[in-house]
Amino acid sequence: MNTIDEYLKEYRASWKQTGCSIIADGWTDMINKSLINFLVYCPCGVYFLSSVDASGICKDKVNLANLFDKVVQNVSVQNVVQIVTDNQSSYKAAGKNLANEKYKSFYWAPCTVHCIDLMLEDIVKLKKMTSYIAKGRKITKFIYNHSWVLSMIRSKFTEGKDLMPSTSTRLATHYIVLGCLMNHRRNLRRMFDSDDWLNSRYAKLVVRKEVKKIVRSRSFWRNVYFIYKCFAPLVRVLKLVSICIC
């Protein structure tokens, strides 16, 4: 049976035949440390190369270029087809410096996930979007902050399905949650009209009146439907490209 080391050797050997892409996946941990995971993608699969603490250099294009250069040399320049980074100015400048000036034998490309995230970030700032996202969040916050309500809607109205599924990015959450709420709008109405709800102590809470009003609002659901349909293709692409680099 092949060992892990033997599999990795096969991966690295394939780069000479097919070429490969270096992916610099930047992220921030819970203590605000800036890290970069370097991955190598080729037809055989994804190869994890290294993880680097870039807290002191993430905004310095010169030092980032030197860091990326070390990774390129590790992979071997002749094997690299492109280097993919976040679209931040320092990352972009560092990637372009290597691709367009130093080597000129491979391309720099912006991360698709990051580009779509930036688009979604701009869209979320629109006044109308902010209003309906806030109303949707009010519904989910009320349900998820009360365990009895959450248990009831899962067991009796949504067949165990969640109103807040996990997502690949924070900004896509807004759209996906609105879509889930839209799909369960009848279930939400049924819950607020059910005897279990009307006889519960939660029905007497002041906040539930506002939530119930939102759930019963036709204009709210009409606008949620419009928002979801407009941006569903963008979120679908985001999901696809996120899966590809996972």
* Tens digit of each residue's pLDDT (9 = 90 or more) over 36-56: 999 999 998 888 999 999 888
pLDDT of residue 92: 92
A 10 A CB-CB count for 19 gives 15
pLDDT of residue 166: 61
Q: Is the dihedral of CA 231, 234, 240, 241 positive or negative?
A: negative
State CA 244 to chain mean position distance: 12
**Which tens digit of pLDDT belongs to each residue from 55-98?**
888 888 999 999 999 999 999 999 999 999 988 899 999 999 99
Residues 102 and 163 in one domain: no
- Cα gap 177→166, rounded to integer Å: 9
| CA-based nearest residue to 219, from 123, 121, 122, 131 | 131
Percent of the chain past pLDDT 70, that is, above it, reads 93
- Cα gap 123→226, rounded to integer Å: 14
Residues 87 and 130 in one domain: no
Per the structure, how many domains does the chain have?
A: 2
| pLDDT exceeds 80 at position 19 | yes
pLDDT of residue 246: 44
Is the separation of the CB atoms in 143 and 149 below 8 Å?
Answer: yes
pLDDT of residue 7: 77
A 10 A CB-CB count for 30 gives 5
- Cα gap 143→140, rounded to integer Å: 5
Structural domain range at position 188: 118-245
pLDDT of residue 162: 80
Residues 58 and 89 in one domain: yes
**Which tens digit of pLDDT belongs to each residue from 126-174?**
877 888 888 998 999 999 988 898 999 988 888 888 877 665 556 577 7
Average pLDDT for 7-35 = 87
- Cα gap 109→167, rounded to integer Å: 24
Residues 76 and 122 in one domain: no
User: Which residues partner with 27 through β-bridges?
Assistant: 35
Of 83, 110, 137, the residue at which a domain comes to its end is 110
Contacts of 220 (CB under 8 A, 6+ apart): 132, 135, 214
* Mean pLDDT score across all residues of the chain: 86
Residues 141 and 186 in one domain: yes
Residues 78 and 168 in one domain: no
| pLDDT exceeds 90 at position 118 | no
Residues 192 and 176 in one domain: yes
Contacts of 133 (CB under 8 A, 6+ apart): 124, 174, 178
pLDDT interval class at 1 (50, 70, 90): very low
- Strands (DSSP E) along 59-190, which ranges? 80-85, 107-110
Neighbour-count burial for 31-58, b at 16+ CB within 10 Å, e otherwise: eeebebebbbbbebebbebeebebeebb
pLDDT of residue 243: 53
Residues 79 and 131 in one domain: no
The answer, as to whether pTM is greater than 0.75, is no
Of 76, 110, 144, the residue at which a domain comes to its end is 110
Of 57, 77, 110, the residue at which a domain comes to its end is 110
Residues 128 and 94 in one domain: no
Residue 160, classed as helix, strand or coil, is coil
pLDDT interval class at 197 (50, 70, 90): confident
Residues 106 and 139 in one domain: no
